Structure 1
Amino acid sequence: MAVVGAGFAGLTAARRLAAAGREVCVLEARDRVGGRTLNHRIQNGVIAEVGGQYVGPTQDRVLALAKALGVKTFPTYNDGDNVLYLNGQLSRYPATPGLSPDPDFQEAILTSIGAFNAMAADVPADAPWKAPKAAEWDKTSLEQWKIQNLQSAGARALFDLACEALFGADPHELTLLNVLAFTATAGNEKTKGDFAKLVATPGGAQESRFVGGSQRIPQLLARQLGSQVVLKAPVRRIEQAGGRVIVSADGLVVEAREVIVAVPPALAARIHFAPALPKAHLKLLKGIVPGRLIKWEAVYDRPFWRDAGLSGQAVSEMGPANTTFDNTPPSGSPGILFGFVGGDQARQFARLSRSARRDAVLGNFATYFGDEARSPKASFEMDWTQEEWTRGCPVGHTRTNLLYRYGHLLRKRVGRIHWAGTEVATYWSGYMDGAVRSGEVAAREVLRALRR
């Protein structure tokens, strides 16, 4: 069996196939495993995650995988107060329950949660294109919904920030159906999707982190698979012929009975398929647009903001770093802050010089947490749009009318070609858990095909 991509999805699928006694070869374009997760080494074994890192309730499959591998979790720091910077004013509010009394904040969060949950109740997590209003919702941009449903400028600004952090995109780029589908997947087989889970820390998708960083999980999976994982092997061509698939990578050709393509849709669309993929399927892959999200981090001797009773979490209309978190390791040292720069703002931010980007983000941190934030002992950033074998983060979003018209092809096999990756997950699409789930499903599908 061949697997293209050594992220959470591909390695999970390979592990399942190997456990079933099948020979498997995983081809990874990069010189590392982990996909959209990456541990950045700072000093003395301390790491900071520069990609996906959070895990929360109902993300059962990645938690089960972590447990099987001996990777533990620890709670995201959430003590003290969060910071809100809105309408030129800075205010504090308790990190628990995490709801500011500011009327604009309440309008943005409570209106969105109530409306999206009500609409998402009619959206099947595994088939959002079957929702009664799917056609209408996929023609409606999130910008249109925002203008019709949020009255104050402050609430609209906060809504924009949430979209940038969740999708790496702005409301005008997202369809209502896309966001409702995302909401519907924020649960599991027993629990309905809930928009509140997407934005919450305790009880939500940001509740916990993995000890040693999220990339430890794919690293341990790759260690189990050993020589079955081949790095620096970007796949260029997949040919189906004579009851087999021939997978051609740089310097390597693998012949297999079935292949799982477990890379982001934008990368899958660049592979040459022979015979060609059906036009509708190729249109779907090309129409899933990678998000634009830059993660900018600063390292301090200690998490000084905690001394002032602050959680390190901020939401701000002032960019470029509109959303921040405390990224300190469980030992409590060194202190690490990170800020997200997303959507159109990320594109503009990337045009600045390195020093200008640094000054801009540290200026934000100083506004939120005090002047000590201006003097980190180290800083670094990750712009996933500049990664050749990723092209964006955190998740792809669909263009207008795409999900309704072609969504049914997301997981549909094409001959001996099967699909995996967080974008095709039926639960927690866009998250590590979704990637794991998709890998498990693809492996089961392959094993069924082999028994025929």
Structure 2
Amino acid sequence: MAERTDVVVVGAGVSGLAAARRLCEGGLEVLLLDGGGEPGGRAALMPPSKPDGLRAGSMYLPPGARALLDLAAELDVAVEPALHDSALADLRVDEDGGVHRSDANVPLGTSWWTRLRNEWIFTGFARKTRTVDLAEPWSSVGAAGLDRCTVRDWLRSYSSDSRLLALVEEALTLDAGLPADRISLLWLLAHIGPDLPEEEDFLRLDPALLVERMAAPLAGLVRTGRHVERVRQDEHGVRVSGPWGEVAADRAVLAVSPADAAHVAFAPALPPERERLQRDWPQAEIIRTDLVYWRPFWRGFGLSGGVHFDDGVPAWTLDDSPVDSTEGRLVAHTYTFGERDPLGADQGIAGAPVRHRALLLENLRVALGPLADDPIALTQSSAGPGTYSRAYQSPTPPGFLTGYGPWLRRPVGRVHWAAAETGVFPGNGTLDGAVSSGHRAAEEVLRES
């Protein structure tokens, strides 16, 4: 017989956990199903390194991530400023292996618009953001024209300064995870938002601890190893099933990315617009590597640990060491969308983890010295989405928001949608968006109950 509950939440990542907590507070019975081996979803992107079991590195967020910051405070999860010492130098490694101290890209631990605030091109972005509706960017005045335009096309129409344009595109790619020729101008303006603080140094928290404390009071409600294949609904309720069996509920919250929802069979079929949204959802192509050393040795050489690599393996690194410097940590990101774009790498890297690791360590040695290619632990995320999506970043291509945006959060019968991609801008596609989307989906269900 099917297990019975008031609400079944598919996906025990941050958005699913946030939805379940809110639903339980509202007095409803909840079950969470997750295809993985433990809760956490994309916040558990990096498993503890083996065999030493060191915890994965930090997740970074801007000071404006209100829903996430409030949740972290409630759960007593420490939030710290990203490390940046102005006395330490960032580096840039060119395609020929030359190492240069970089003034143009410091600090790496701040947003790209903060780094470019003194450049006149920033005023063009800032002016346009004031017209964008953050709740529904596709409803903004002039949305169709903004959505047809790529960020690269707009940049090149606004300025002919090739050096400045290259800097803007690199900085944007670093934050967004995709190059400017794949990103809609409307998406970027919504992602930036109209109210930018004067200073925006990033904050960091331990995502594993956040998930652990979110999941603790829900421990008896989470069913792991439950990959969902089918969702059936009628006027009486919803049935969610897979090889493991079936759960019956009054309503369902699918707290998974649209790309993952595309692998679920729905009966009756979803509206064509929602199906196309899921089928065409873009995926950022990022490999994250966490490296652990005995100490942050680069600081002894006057270096910050922040490095840009022109050949793209990795695209950049960031110092993620603990405040007390008990160990040295670097986070490295490689973008696998191709060498022709800023910070892109050879696409063959995605399917060759051993080769990627060797190139990454060699490039770190060139930049930071021989100690860099001898970490005591190294863990990598998979290059692609795999069974479940592996990157929060979700910039949309031209035409996507105006074509599919109205279906992004709209419930279909008794099925409600959560996940970072359904969050309100500018938090859409971030850990903060995951939290707020879970709360929003839960409130929808509570209003109908």
Q: Aligned partners of 1:389, 1:163: CA distance in 2, in Å?
A: 25
Secondary structure of 2:381's match? Answer: strand
Q: Which residue of 2 aligns with 1:430?
A: 429
Give the counterpart letter for 2:369 in structure 1. Answer: G
What is the Cα deviation at residue 355 of structure 1?
4.0
Q: Which residue of 2 aligns with 1:368?
A: 367
> Cα deviation per residue 1:390-438 (whole Å; 9 max; x = unaligned)?
1x41322323312112211211111111111111111411211111001
Q: Which residue of 2 aligns with 1:187?
A: none
Which aligned pairs between 1:221-260 and structure 2 lie closer than 5 A? 221-260=214-253
Secondary structure of 2:246's match? Answer: strand
Give the counterpart letter for 1:445 in structure 2. Answer: E
Given that 2:349 and 2:355 are in contact with CA atoms closer than 8 Å, whether structure 1 keeps it comes out as no
Given that 1:239 and 1:273 are in contact with CA atoms closer than 8 Å, whether structure 2 keeps it comes out as yes
Secondary structure of 2:330's match? Answer: strand
Are 2:39 and 1:46 equivalent residues in the alignment?
no
Q: Which residue of 2 aligns with 1:83?
A: 90
Q: Which residue of 1 aligns with 2:442?
A: 443
TM-score (norm. length: structure 2): 0.87
What is the Cα deviation at residue 382 of structure 1?
1.1
Q: Aligned partners of 1:133, 1:238: CA distance in 2, in Å?
A: 37
TM-score (norm. length: structure 1): 0.86
Q: Aligned partners of 1:10, 1:422: CA distance in 2, in Å?
A: 10
Q: Aligned partners of 1:349, 1:162: CA distance in 2, in Å?
A: 24
Q: Percent identity?
A: 30
Give the counterpart letter for 2:181 in structure 1. Answer: H
Q: Which residue of 1 aligns with 2:204?
A: 209
Q: Which residue of 2 aligns with 1:308?
A: 301
> Cα deviation per residue 1:26-65 (whole Å; 9 max; x = unaligned)?
111111211112253247663223xx71123121111111
Given that 2:109 and 2:318 are in contact with CA atoms closer than 8 Å, whether structure 1 keeps it comes out as no
Q: Aligned partners of 2:333, 2:397: CA distance in 1, in Å?
A: 23
What is the Cα deviation at residue 108 of structure 1?
9.7
Secondary structure of 1:414's match? Answer: coil
Q: Aligned partners of 1:94, 1:346: CA distance in 2, in Å?
A: 21
Q: Which residue of 1 aligns with 2:190?
A: 181
Secondary structure of 2:402's match? Answer: helix
Q: Aligned partners of 2:265, 2:118: CA distance in 1, in Å?
A: 44
Shift of the 393–111 alpha-carbon distance from structure 1 to 2, 3 Å rule, reads farther
Shift of the 447–376 alpha-carbon distance from structure 1 to 2, 3 Å rule, reads same
> Cα deviation per residue 1:179-218 (whole Å; 9 max; x = unaligned)?
112112xxxxxxx444x89xxxx724xx2222xx212212
Which one of 410, 413, 416 corresponds to residue 412 of structure 1? 410
Given that 2:84 and 2:109 are in contact with CA atoms closer than 8 Å, whether structure 1 keeps it comes out as no
Give the counterpart letter for 1:208 in structure 2. Answer: L
Given that 1:82 and 1:94 are in contact with CA atoms closer than 8 Å, whether structure 2 keeps it comes out as no
Given that 1:233 and 1:251 are in contact with CA atoms closer than 8 Å, whether structure 2 keeps it comes out as yes
Are 2:364 and 1:357 equivalent residues in the alignment?
no
Give the counterpart letter for 2:203 in structure 1. Answer: S
Q: Aligned partners of 2:238, 2:108: CA distance in 1, in Å?
A: 51
Greater shift in the superposed pair: 108-117 or 311-320: 108-117
What is the Cα deviation at residue 220 of structure 1?
1.9
What is the Cα deviation at residue 351 of structure 1?
4.6
Are 2:59 and 1:59 equivalent residues in the alignment?
no
What is the Cα deviation at residue 375 of structure 1?
2.6
What is the Cα deviation at residue 160 of structure 1?
3.5
Are 2:160 and 1:167 equivalent residues in the alignment?
no
Greater shift in the superposed pair: 365-374 or 298-307: 365-374
Unpaired segments ≥5 residues, structure 1? 185-191
Shift of the 274–230 alpha-carbon distance from structure 1 to 2, 3 Å rule, reads same
Which aligned pairs between 1:313-392 and structure 2 lie closer than 5 A? 313-342=306-335, 343-344=337-338, 345=344, 348-351=347-350, 353-390=352-389, 392=390
Q: Which residue of 1 aligns with 2:268?
A: 275
Given that 1:108 and 1:155 are in contact with CA atoms closer than 8 Å, whether structure 2 keeps it comes out as no
Q: Which residue of 2 aligns with 1:393?
A: 391
Shift of the 129–230 alpha-carbon distance from structure 1 to 2, 3 Å rule, reads same
Given that 1:425 and 1:437 are in contact with CA atoms closer than 8 Å, whether structure 2 keeps it comes out as yes
Give the counterpart letter for 1:203 in structure 2. Answer: E
Secondary structure of 1:83's match? Answer: strand
Greater shift in the superposed pair: 64-73 or 16-25: 64-73
RMSD: 2.8
Shift of the 267–351 alpha-carbon distance from structure 1 to 2, 3 Å rule, reads closer
What is the Cα deviation at residue 167 of structure 1?
2.7
What is the Cα deviation at residue 113 of structure 1?
3.5
Shift of the 45–17 alpha-carbon distance from structure 1 to 2, 3 Å rule, reads same
Are 2:137 and 1:137 equivalent residues in the alignment?
no
Q: Aligned partners of 2:68, 2:249: CA distance in 1, in Å?
A: 28
Shift of the 148–317 alpha-carbon distance from structure 1 to 2, 3 Å rule, reads farther
Give the counterpart letter for 2:78 in structure 1. Answer: K
Shift of the 346–282 alpha-carbon distance from structure 1 to 2, 3 Å rule, reads farther
Q: Aligned partners of 1:66, 1:441: CA distance in 2, in Å?
A: 18
